[in-house]
Structure formats: C-alpha cells, structure tokens
Amino acid sequence: MSTQATLVDYGLGNMLSVHRMLEHCGAKVNIAALPDDIISAERLVFPGVGAFASGMQELAKRGMIGALREFARGGRPILGICLGMQLFMSIGEEFGEHVGINIIPGRVKQIPSVNNLRNSVKIPHIGWNAIVNEQNKESWDNGILKGIQPGEFVYFAHSFYVDLRDKQLCIAQCVYENTSIPAVVRLNNIHGCQFHPEKSGPVGIKIIKNFLTLA
C-alpha cells in the first residue's frame, strides 16, 4: 500500500513537478484545495514559488492559514519547499513586513547584496550548491537528510532566506557568495527545504523518500 501525500494547492506552488516527484517516489498524491483537505491529510507537502506577501494573501483567501497551523500542531509530517518553507516563519520582509503562518519562529530576509568581504552578491541565488552540516548531526541523520552526505549538491532559486530565532533549528546550510544560508530546517514534525528537491536529481529523490517514510 502506497504512502499518502497531500500537496497543498494555493495558486503559487510548483505543483506539476512536485506532484510527479512524489509519485515517482511511490506516494499516492492528493491535492488540498480546501482547509478540510489539509486537516485530514496523512502528511503534507507545501510548495511555493513567488513572493511572501502574495503567498499569505492566497492562503488567507482560501482560509488555509488556520488549517496549516492546526495540522502542524498535530504532529504529522509537513514539508515546506522554497517559498513554502519561508511562509512557515513569523514575519516576511519581502515588499514590506508581513505576518507569516508563524509555526517556526523566524524572519524572512533578503540575501545581503554585499557580503562580509564587502563584495557585491549576485541576487537571486540560482543554481546548484552544496549543503553542509556545522551542527545538529543527529537531526541530519534522523530526518529528511538521512543517508545523504554533507557536500552533496541541490538546486536553489531564491532571493530571500530564513533567519531563524533558534539557530539550532538549522539542520543544513549552504554558503553562497560567502554568506551562510539555512538550506534545511526542522522543528519537530515541521521540515523545510530552501532548495527544490524536485529539481535536485538523485539527492532530491532521496530527500522526498525520507520524508515519505517519516512516522
């Protein structure tokens, strides 16, 4: 019997490629277009492409914000991808300050245009980059990165990053233009990837399979 995975549709997700990846990894995929679809899910995948403010607007219009918070409190696995992960945070600073879903304490900030060596930084950060592990080795080995070696490459496409209130929630980082960026975050059952697993080849497949096997 295949694992059930529910993909949240709020108008801004990379739905087709994520749907195909989930099916490729053995999941039976359901689509959540209503709050009740979220609340009744076995596990949720929350994708996202675009701006923080418009993401929250679309979730509010569909009445999904409360349902996502309720699901996260329930202990079942949830995975946010790119903007999806960013929307988990408390506040987003893209085009003004906006309240997020607020299930992980943190702020979404623009990647600095100048790094700590005073060199200009090309924004957005697009392309393949390595994920590394400076701490939380246990969380790396027991979550969605199980079986993946530090230094593996995954695919990024973003201009903003998450600044976590509790830095221990950062499971993996990447270094872009001498700036450290959280690449994988985790708070209990809530997981997030700044990169796109569905575009990250064999490493992305392993991450999705790991998520599908989480209790």
25 is catalytic: no
CA pair distance 35, 107, nearest whole angstrom: 25
> What is the band of 102 on the pLDDT scale with cuts at 50, 70, 90?
very high
> What is the band of 51 on the pLDDT scale with cuts at 50, 70, 90?
very high
From 82, 170, 174, 193, active-site residue: 82
Where do the H-state alpha helices sit in 64-179?
Answer: 65-73, 83-87, 137-141
Question: Judging by beta carbons within 10 Å of its beta carbon (0-12, 13-18, 19+), is residue 207 exposed, middle or buried?
Answer: buried
198 is catalytic: yes
How many domains does the structure of the chain reveal?
1
Tell me the residue range of the domain where 44 lies.
3-212
pLDDT at position 134 over 70 = no
Q: What CATH number does the domain containing 8 carry?
A: 3.40.50.880
What pLDDT does residue 116 have?
Answer: 74
* pLDDT, mean of residues 28-34: 97
Taking only the tens place, the pLDDT of each residue in 162-210 is: 999 999 999 999 999 988 999 999 999 999 999 999 999 999 999 999 9
193 is catalytic: no
CA pair distance 19, 90, nearest whole angstrom: 27
